[in-house]
Structure 1
Amino acid sequence: MTFEELMKKPELSPDETKKALELASRQTESCLSEFSSQFKSVYSENGFYTPVPNEQWTNGFWTGELWLAYENTGDERYREAALKQAESFLERIETGNHTDTHDLGFLYSLSCVSGYKLTGNETAKKAALLAADHLKSRFHEKGQFLQAWGAMDNLKNYRLIIDCLLNLPLLYWATEETGQPEYAKKARAHLDTALSVIIRPDYSTYHTYYFDPETGKPLRGVTHQGYSADSVWARGQAWGVYGLALSYRYTRSPEYLEDFKHVTDYFLTHLPENL
């Protein structure tokens, strides 16, 4: 199946969508008492998530679920819990607690940008803008990309990963909010660099790409989480699909839409018959 064929498939009906949202909200409600002031771990153990402090790269996902539940139901309990967590995110970025990463978009777009858009909360706005500043500071002029992880002065860290396409909306939003073009400019530069190296001729993708710290020239594609350097990490390909869609949403640049269709086609044509 190709992207064009997928678009001809029937969409979810309003009733199906309503039932799915109700189920998701009930599941979120069942966790509310345990995870109002704490966060879910990166992974479940024996089918359950354990509470953890705000130190992991996935913590924003749970807060984002709270905002979605609030948006869907209007239940103030979700709003109160999510705003409490926004305070935690402000403390995290102000103290630099596990923020030596590009995952600030995952952390702050879903928790604080969402919260600010829905409620106008100034704590959420402040936290998100500080996170955008910190993400912007991870941009390497030599190579024109945002470094994935670790200390910026460690030459072994001179690389990008495909996941970062999901972090770019934090920078696009910061430009919209402040009127300062530098955020979006760096997001576009990173995206253009990433697309020039991580998409293979058949539109499969590399997970990670290293650059020469002296010249900024691309060196080699490898994997940090996939099977091998030459394989296709399924979640990484999905980051490509989703990340390109997000950048097209903000920029409306036709070349991003074309790349989106191609990497999506690759993903779809390698699924089993039942998708």
Structure 2
Amino acid sequence: MKLKLSTVTIKLKLPIAALLLGAGLTACTPQPDSNIVEDNMEFAQQQLRCAFDEIDYAVANESPESRAQREKNGWGPLTNPRNTEPDGTLHLVPSKDWTSGFFPGELWFLYEYTQNNFWKKKAQQHTDILEQEKMNGGTHDMGFKMYCSFGNGYRLTQDERYKEILLQSARTLSTRFKPKAGIIRSWDHNKDKWQCPVIIDNMMNLELLFWATKESKDSTYYNIAVSHARTTMKNHFRADYSCYHVIDYDTITGQVLKKNTHQGLAHESAWARGQAWALYGYTMCYRETKLPEFLEQAKKVEQYLFTHKNMPEDLIPYWDFDAPGIPNEPRDASAATVIASALYELSQYDRKNSERYKKNADRIVENLTNSYRTTLNKDNGFLLLHSTGTKPTNVEVDVPIVYADYYFIEALLRKDKLEKTGKLF
């Protein structure tokens, strides 16, 4: 999670029901014998059509104060949804925000599932407005922004323009690599607190670099990604395989200066989404490298998660595994969706425990479907309730957040592929 760049405060508008009815889609409440993937994908199509309406309304009704602040900071136009605020208003972000790529990624997923050109055109529209970010060297979030959007687009269309944008994005991300420390710098903010901070979230951005080596045949990207993953594995994790959120490095000596947890309860606590990023990140690194050390790390993180005394029965984690008020603490559905998606993939690589991984992923998907979904044609078009961004500063607490939806759809697609073909890739 990163700093919020822009907040748009707009009163909710009723969705245009005619558009939804015209699509010929019908509401589908989950039933015990229903196809959970089909049901959720139908629900997602209706909700994202609702989202288009809400986005248009939000852009048209941005307050003059918000627009002036955004332009003063050089953030560019508003692009895609980030979350619903506690008062029910929709929060849109400019392309610079780390979450800007998730919404177009969802649209690409719907195109992949339906093969309906309506979703392809919408995905292209919401992807193209992010192109300028390919040169933004002030952030490590190229994977989140560019690979979730342009990456999915290229995978599904083989559009050469997308390929070039992604390669430039990888080149830009590589400029943040610090050879002495062996890591990619994460944040540039809070320079009074950290010299060179690296967050566990950064594991997710390595997929773009692995892709760039495969496409360009330049091993530089691969080597940077492996170095970052190994250094993170060495310094981010405790003896029980829980992880810190932020490690601060001396870029001259490579020495670790601080071990912090910025968005969790305390420095020594286990922030739920951080553990989810770790599980997903090392599972992905094993896919891309086939290095056994990464698979072992993913397995150990999974074991930590699913043997923890504070993992709820429904497997939707509290925002921090050490939160003092459990069971009366906010959940983080976004952590659950990342974990579920990772488990479907991990089940392909660790055959001994494959059945358990898939069973737990299925339980997460089922519980999210039955107890965490939004109301049809409401909630600004988001899919899931009860995500938590940064509880210590009371930002995005118990609200819909876009990356929960993105990884939920990805998990559903992975479940579908596994059950139909027995493989993901």
> Structure 1 length as normaliser, TM-score?
0.87
1:187 aligns with 225
Does the CA-based 8 Å contact 1:39-1:59 persist in structure 2?
yes
Matched, 1:31 2:51: yes
User: Aligned equivalents of 1:33 and 1:107: distance in 2?
Assistant: 23
Deviation per residue, 1:106-146 (Å, 9 max, x gap): 00111001101111223322221111111111100111000
User: Aligned equivalents of 1:205 and 1:221: distance in 2?
Assistant: 10
**Cα displacement (A) at 1:154:** 9.2
After TM superposition, which residue ranges in structure 1, 4 or more long, deviate above 6 angstroms? Answer: none
1:251 aligns with 289
2:208 to 152, 160, 170: 170
User: Aligned equivalents of 1:31 and 1:42: distance in 2?
Assistant: 11
Does the CA-based 8 Å contact 2:203-2:281 persist in structure 1?
yes
SS at match of 1:221: strand
Does the CA-based 8 Å contact 2:181-2:252 persist in structure 1?
no
Deviation per residue, 1:38-57 (Å, 9 max, x gap): 53343212345333332211
SS at match of 1:23: helix
**Cα displacement (A) at 1:34:** 4.5
1:224 to 262, 265, 279: 262
2:93 aligns with 52
**Cα displacement (A) at 1:155:** 9.6
**Structure 1, gaps ≥5 residues long:** 1-11
Give 1:68's aligned amino acid: F
User: Aligned equivalents of 1:239 and 1:227: distance in 2?
Assistant: 17
User: Aligned equivalents of 2:103 and 2:236: distance in 1?
Assistant: 29
**Cα displacement (A) at 1:223:** 1.5
User: Aligned equivalents of 1:154 and 1:168: distance in 2?
Assistant: 27
2:319 aligns with none
Change (3 A) 1:251 1:14: farther
Matched, 1:83 2:124: yes
1:211 aligns with 249
**Cα displacement (A) at 1:77:** 2.1
Does the CA-based 8 Å contact 2:195-2:249 persist in structure 1?
no
**Identity fraction in percent:** 36
Query: What is the Cα-based RMSD across aligned positions, in Å?
Result: 2.3
Q: How many residues align?
A: 260
2:397 aligns with none
**Structure 2, gaps ≥5 residues long:** 1-31, 60-77, 316-425
SS at match of 2:257: strand
Does the CA-based 8 Å contact 1:42-1:58 persist in structure 2?
yes
Give 1:102's aligned amino acid: H
Larger deviation, residues 29-38 vs 50-59:
29-38
User: Aligned equivalents of 2:226 and 2:99: distance in 1?
Assistant: 24
2:196 aligns with 158
User: Aligned equivalents of 1:116 and 1:196: distance in 2?
Assistant: 33
User: Aligned equivalents of 1:213 and 1:13: distance in 2?
Assistant: 56
Give 2:125's aligned amino acid: K
Does the CA-based 8 Å contact 1:206-1:221 persist in structure 2?
yes
Deviation per residue, 1:75-128 (Å, 9 max, x gap): 22221122123322222324x3xx511111100111001101111223322221
1:126 to 142, 161, 164: 164
User: Aligned equivalents of 1:21 and 1:200: distance in 2?
Assistant: 38
Does the CA-based 8 Å contact 2:236-2:244 persist in structure 1?
yes
User: Aligned equivalents of 2:296 and 2:88: distance in 1?
Assistant: 39
Matched, 1:40 2:80: yes
Does the CA-based 8 Å contact 1:40-1:49 persist in structure 2?
no
Does the CA-based 8 Å contact 2:81-2:103 persist in structure 1?
no
> Structure 2 length as normaliser, TM-score?
0.57
Does the CA-based 8 Å contact 1:206-1:229 persist in structure 2?
yes
Does the CA-based 8 Å contact 2:107-2:120 persist in structure 1?
yes
SS at match of 2:155: helix
Give 1:43's aligned amino acid: N
SS at match of 1:59: coil
Matched, 1:106 2:126: no
**Which structure has the bigger radius of gyration?**
2
SS at match of 1:25: helix
User: Aligned equivalents of 2:200 and 2:216: distance in 1?
Assistant: 27
2:115 aligns with 74
